[in-house]
């Protein structure tokens, strides 16, 4: 069915229901594994190993259209079919995974002990075992754990989490491509009960209008991608592309966030690198409004 804007709709429950029979998922995987993601009818039936032609034909017809296309004699995997496979390969639908904890080359902002990466219940966490505190946390799919050593999982967790946050801060949902709003909010607000950054005077609140994605990244994340900040860091020996989020004091240390007003929200984020400091002001939408170099900092972490 197509509406006035030419967008066709199917009830989501109906779309999910289409995969109630495993043969339909096997059809998608057979096309995915084929050259050009395309197979003629007889080869497709052969690949999924279903000898009952009536049964095979019925289940193929149920996924043909939205998930499987028809080009000449070939059945092809359409973009929505790829996305079904992606959801399965991410592992979140059917797998749980474990990762050994990883000692990280970064210090706890409270006690100075090494931070540790752990993974449990689909969440990557970076925290201090001595303080029993968490400084960063974000979901990570079990599909990202196979073929990686624990330190490589920690590195992948950092890259992926920061890209997800960067998408969201750019207004695009990293999960569904919907519209994401960003605002500053109190870290101790009731909506953030037991959130890892609830000791921060402010956090970023990002919320997708189209799906269940929402998150409260540390405010320091908003400044790292700004070109002037990235340039300042690079000039001070810190490459923001390869330095993990947990190594930035402006991300893990609440003392680096100063709230200057709440109506509207304005905050100053202070970075340190190479013994110097940079103060970055953000407006209520977490956009950088000004930068100021500060005198040398004797306890700079970076």
Burial class (CB in 10 A: 0-12, 13-18, 19+), 12: exposed
Which residues in 55-78 are b (16+ Cβ under 10 Å) and which e?
Answer: ebeebbebbeebbbbeeeebbbbb
Nearer to Zn ion, 148 or 166 (CB): 166
Q: Residue 171 CB, nearest distance to Zn ion (Å)? A: 11
Burial class (CB in 10 A: 0-12, 13-18, 19+), 106: buried
Count of residues of this chain found to bind Zn ion when the rule CB under 5 A is applied:
15
How close are the terminal C-alpha atoms of the chain, in Å? 57
Q: Please give the residues from 184 up to 213 whose contact with Zn ion meets the rule CB under 5 A.
A: 208, 210-211, 213
Nearer to Zn ion, 128 or 238 (CB): 128
Q: Does 176 bind Zn ion (CB under 5 A)?
A: yes
Nearer to Zn ion, 109 or 124 (CB): 109
Nearer to Zn ion, 65 or 178 (CB): 178
Short-list 140, 170, 174, CA closest to 155 = 140
d(CA 47, CA 43): 6
Query: Of the candidates 15, 155, 156, 175, which one interacts with Zn ion according to CB under 5 A?
Result: 175
Q: Does 131 bind Zn ion (CB under 5 A)?
A: yes
Q: Does 106 bind Zn ion (CB under 5 A)?
A: no
Nearer to Zn ion, 90 or 262 (CB): 90
> Which residues of this chain interact with Zn ion, rule CB under 5 A?
108, 110-111, 113, 128, 130-131, 173, 175-176, 178, 208, 210-211, 213
């Amino acid at each position: 069915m197509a509406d006035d804007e030419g967008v066709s709709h199917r009830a989501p429950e109906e779309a999910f229901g289409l995969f109630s029979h495993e043969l339909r998922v096997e059809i998608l995987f057979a096309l995915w594994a084929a050259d050009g993601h395309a197979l003629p009818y007889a080869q497709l039936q052969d690949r999924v190993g279903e000898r009952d032609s009536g049964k095979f034909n019925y289940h193929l017809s149920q996924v043909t259209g939205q998930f499987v296309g028809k080009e000449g004699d070939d059945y092809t995997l359409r973009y929505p079919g790829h996305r079904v496979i992606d959801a399965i390969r991410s592992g979140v639908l059917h797998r749980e995974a474990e990762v050994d904890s990883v000692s990280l080359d970064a210090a706890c902002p409270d006690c100075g002990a090494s931070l540790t990466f752990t993974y449990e219940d689909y969440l990557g966490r970076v925290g201090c075992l001595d303080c029993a505190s968490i400084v960063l946390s974000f979901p990570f799919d079990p599909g990202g754990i196979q073929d990686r050593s624990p330190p490589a999982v920690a590195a992948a967790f950092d890259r992926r989490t920061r890209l997800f946050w960067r998408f969201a801060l750019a207004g695009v949902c990293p999960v569904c491509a919907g519209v994401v709003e960003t605002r500053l909010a109190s870290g101790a607000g009731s909506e953030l009960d037991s959130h890892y950054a609830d000791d921060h005077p402010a956090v970023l609140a990002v919320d997708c209008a189209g799906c269940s994605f929402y998150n409260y990244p540390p405010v320091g994340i908003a400044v790292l991608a700004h070109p002037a900040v990235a340039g300042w860091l690079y000039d001070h020996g810190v490459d923001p592309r390869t330095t993990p989020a947990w190594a930035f004091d402006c991300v893990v240390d609440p003392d680096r966030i100063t709230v200057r007003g709440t109506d509207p929200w304005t905050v100053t984020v202070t970075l340190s690198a190479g013994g110097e400091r940079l103060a970055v002001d953000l407006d209520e939408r977490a956009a950088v409004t000004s930068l100021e170099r500060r005198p040398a900092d004797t306890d700079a972490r970076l």
